[in-house]
Structure 1
Amino acid sequence: MRGNHRGSVPVLLLATALWLTACAGAGTSDVKNDSSGGTPKTTDEPVEMVFAQLTGNFSEESFMQLYGNKIKAKFPNITIKYIVLKNEQHLKELLSIKQPFDIVIGSIGTTPSYLLASELQTDISDQIKLQKYDLNRLEPTSVEIQRQMANGGIYGLPISTSSAALYYNKDIFDRFGIPYPKDGMKWDELYDLAKRMTRNEDGVQYKGLTMSFNHMMLMNQSGAISVDPKTNKANFTNETFKQAFENLARFYQIPGNGVPNNKYALAGQTDPFYKDKTAAMIMTTSGSGSSLFKDAVNWDVVQIPFLSDKPGVGPQSYPGYMYMTKLTKNREMAFKVLAYATSDEWQLDSIKTGNGPILKDPGIMKNFGVDVPALKGKNIQSLYPKKFADPTPKGKYQNIADVEMLNALNDVLSGTDVNTALKQAAERVNKKIEEQGS
């Protein structure tokens, strides 16, 4: 799953995550400063730290504006080196030539294909204990995601979060004389509304609803898991997964609301809403595409619908994490950077510019987006649910599952029955996992 970053800093930052590779039992006592066997640098000695963003082509300028300048101001002894990663393969190539990384940043969506696939993660539990860091300050599901991934440990600290929300184009609703979506809807209500808004008028095909299918499944409210973390087998034929899949797939089956050329990924879903202005609604991450809002679309936002058996439970949190890696030679200093990114000082500044809060204090949302003109007068309280759904495990094979899930979606929309499509997709996932494991 890719972020939606561009060359300039977006108005609302999609949550990004810092990832570190786990070295079992690693602690400060066995980390060497260099190959000659020196001891780690103290936190006030000059040190170079190498950073990377786990999103293709995230520029150094954007990195410094969002993170680097704050780190330099807080820790003047740190010299920052930033490496632009083109893609997952580029990271692997750099690691093959022994390029070190101290800290990496990325979303929960980029974690499996970058951090875990490259085995850069490291359990930071030793530093949490050593530096007496209080995890109870943090939104609990963002911590639970790490616990699941690290088998009880923690690889990184959340620095922002996103979730999912339902944006709508007020002008299209006004044109058709249909009331706007509202908070507290059930999924069937949204489905009926999408059918009413899907129509061809004056030669223009209007879509009732478009969405980022992968993100919506990653953040599903029902607890559907793509890959069983215990067996490393696809979970597509599980009834809970099937129900979550069908709940979203049915929107594409509304006549006139399909996706041409199988463009189910985020980029292919955003144009009808932001650019063409022919989609009445879009379900996507809480900050996705917000740099395009400005005055281009007369928009507002409401909550994602609730499941009938889980009233009041929104989608899952979609955090961005900051991770130290197993390659760092200064665990203590690296952790201080992570801890600072979760401090009240950093978070208040981040929240004012439209990044989702990761602190547990519910009052912090009153500062959300106050420095963003495009958010003034909008229903911004609905960008983040009052209660996140329980997080589902997302391991190193998540990217494989995501690809085959979209293939299954295409098969269903091409006429294959859902049971067959999901069974065949599961078989392909299992085969790829076996091949990768061997």
Structure 2
Amino acid sequence: MKRKSWGTAAVVLSAGLALSACGGKEEKAPAGASGADDLSKAANEKVELIFYSMSRDSEESFNERYGDAIRKKFPNYTITYIQRVVPGKDLNDLINSGQRIDIQWDSIGSFPTSNIASELNFDMTDLLKKHQVDLNRFEPSLIDMMKQLGGGAIYGLPVYNERMAMYYNKDLFDKLNVPYPKDGMTWDQFNELTKKLNVERDGVAYTGFSPSVNHLFLVNPYSLALIDKTTMKSTINSDRWKQLLQTQLIDPTQSPVYQKAMTDYKKILDLAPFSKEQRLATFPSSPVLPLVQKTELSNFNWDIVSMPTMSDLPGVGPQSYPGIFAITKQAQNKDAAMQVLKFLTSDEFQMDISKKGLMTTLKNEQIQKALGSEGAFKGKNYGAFFYNKYPKIADKSVEESKANILALYTKNLNKLASGQMDINTYLRTAEEEANKALDDLKKK
């Protein structure tokens, strides 16, 4: 049976590869929600809006998440979706062929390269004012991130969010007679608890925790950027990165049992040992995991707690990793496109996706509390995703994507976790390779 995709960018994030709510006084007449008068005017227009994303989402997935709801709200709009497939439909191919794109969306990680580097970026500031979109309704770190990306301009709106929490296998905790983790734990407390789950039994190496390696960098709670935008140099060889890697990667993986499991798996354990093999007790992921791995998660008893916090950063959780929808400079009817974005960020639509299991970008507590309430796994602790404070989203840049800095940082993590490379050598090597890649980029 064909499996529906809820967004490749989100799946990637959830699997360790790679994806909120309004103020109270706005609930009576939310400024950011699509008003009846505006929607009536928009519905009378006949407009074609063409959507594109780097996510490779199928048309079925696009329609399920966005297309059908937009068509229902705006019956006179023709909504066209171009699925990214290789070859021939990558973004640059489409642009070079003269294909118009009205609304483009991507995760925050790929947005600088897909939107800004491709010169599709359009400052939506005046449109947002014209259509009375209240940016105060959004989780503030998301809007701050958009302003940082645009140097003050706003190139898009965050429509859905991704944030990490800790999934744990209750059956495995019970089997090994270890108490469950709790919301609000520090990494020191969490590591002390989960090391009790590094047990070999009946020939199976059970392990307590394994990190999602990309997330170590992309959503770190210190808001550390991958590169310094001022100097265009790597940031990796620093005490703060060293502390983070020591706490969240090295300390949890030094058990002989984990090392045996890693040798058998041939790399740092990731999502599969947790969700499919059920021999990893805890793994960090986003709210989309129950959507993309419904079958796997139906096979055992699990729940969620907040991500542990660093001892010197109490109460601060991981960064957000939102999905951005942007009106492009190619858009023929920017007012119609803004009406759609206004609808996608309305209380109405955000409540709908929250109930289904997608994390809202708004700060409305009612919408937050509805997360997953109509999904397949009702009653899970979805509040864990909102438990800790949001840190600033680290600066993003086109250069870090073009130089593939994340891949250079994760390149030697298997050696670091297995003890084949010490932390200082890892940091120095990653720094040298990243700086060379950035220097080479300048020469192009």
TM band (smaller chain): 0.7 to 0.9
> Which runs of no fewer than 5 residues in structure 2 stay unpaired?
14-18, 20-40
Match of 1:390 in 2: 392
Is 2:248 aligned against 1:245?
A: no
Native 8 Å contact 1:313 1:389 kept in 2:
yes
Is 2:103 aligned against 1:103?
A: yes
> Which runs of no fewer than 5 residues in structure 1 stay unpaired?
1-5, 18-41
- Cα-to-partner distance string for 1:383-437 (whole Å, 9 max, x where unaligned): 2234212221122234412101101323423522222222222222222223334
Aligned AA (2:281): A
Native 8 Å contact 2:416 2:423 kept in 1:
yes
Q: Distance in 2 between matches of 1:11 and 1:232?
A: 31
Q: Distance in 1 between matches of 2:352 and 2:5?
A: 15
| 1:216-235 paired onto structure 2 within 5 Å | 216-235=216-235
How many angstroms does 1:79 deviate by?
A: 1.1
Q: Distance in 1 between matches of 2:117 and 2:376?
A: 39
| 1:39-438 paired onto structure 2 within 5 Å | 44-56=44-56, 58-86=57-85, 90-250=90-250, 251-258=252-259, 259=262, 263=267, 269-288=270-289, 290-293=291-294, 294-374=297-377, 376-399=378-401, 400-413=404-417, 414-437=419-442, 438=444
SS at match of 1:129: helix
Native 8 Å contact 1:53 1:105 kept in 2:
yes
SS at match of 2:390: coil
In 2 relative to 1, CA 72–136 (structure 1 residues): closer, same or farther, beyond 3 Å? same
Moved more, 381-390 or 160-169: 381-390
Aligned AA (2:315): G
- Cα-to-partner distance string for 1:105-157 (whole Å, 9 max, x where unaligned): 22223324433443332221121122232101111111111111111221111
Match of 1:34 in 2: none
Q: Distance in 2 between matches of 1:170 and 1:11?
A: 28
Q: Distance in 2 between matches of 1:262 and 1:92?
A: 36
Aligned AA (1:248): Q
Aligned AA (2:324): Y
Q: Distance in 2 between matches of 1:53 and 1:288?
A: 20
TM-score (norm 1): 0.85
Match of 2:30 in 1: none
How many angstroms does 1:368 deviate by?
A: 2.0
Aligned AA (1:397): E
How many angstroms does 1:196 deviate by?
A: 1.5
SS at match of 1:122: coil
In 2 relative to 1, CA 11–390 (structure 1 residues): closer, same or farther, beyond 3 Å? closer
- Cα-to-partner distance string for 1:238-266 (whole Å, 9 max, x where unaligned): 322222233222123333325456656xx
In 2 relative to 1, CA 213–226 (structure 1 residues): closer, same or farther, beyond 3 Å? same
In 2 relative to 1, CA 256–95 (structure 1 residues): closer, same or farther, beyond 3 Å? farther
Native 8 Å contact 1:11 1:354 kept in 2:
no
Q: Distance in 2 between matches of 1:352 and 1:76?
A: 24
* Residue-pair matches, total: 404
State the identity as a percent: 35
How many angstroms does 1:223 deviate by?
A: 2.4
Aligned AA (2:413): L
Q: Distance in 2 between matches of 1:87 and 1:269?
A: 27
Q: Distance in 1 between matches of 2:156 and 2:341?
A: 8
SS at match of 2:258: coil
- Cα-to-partner distance string for 1:296-333 (whole Å, 9 max, x where unaligned): 22101111111222222111122112111222222222
Aligned AA (1:351): S
In 2 relative to 1, CA 119–127 (structure 1 residues): closer, same or farther, beyond 3 Å? same
In 2 relative to 1, CA 87–254 (structure 1 residues): closer, same or farther, beyond 3 Å? farther
In 2 relative to 1, CA 322–129 (structure 1 residues): closer, same or farther, beyond 3 Å? same
In 2 relative to 1, CA 116–423 (structure 1 residues): closer, same or farther, beyond 3 Å? farther
- Cα-to-partner distance string for 1:32-70 (whole Å, 9 max, x where unaligned): xxxxxxxxxx954422221123213x1001101110011
Q: Aligned Cα RMSD in Å?
A: 2.6
Match of 2:26 in 1: none
SS at match of 2:369: helix
In 2 relative to 1, CA 216–236 (structure 1 residues): closer, same or farther, beyond 3 Å? closer
Native 8 Å contact 2:373 2:379 kept in 1:
no
Aligned AA (1:308): S
Q: Distance in 2 between matches of 1:297 and 1:415?
A: 35
Native 8 Å contact 1:148 1:393 kept in 2:
yes
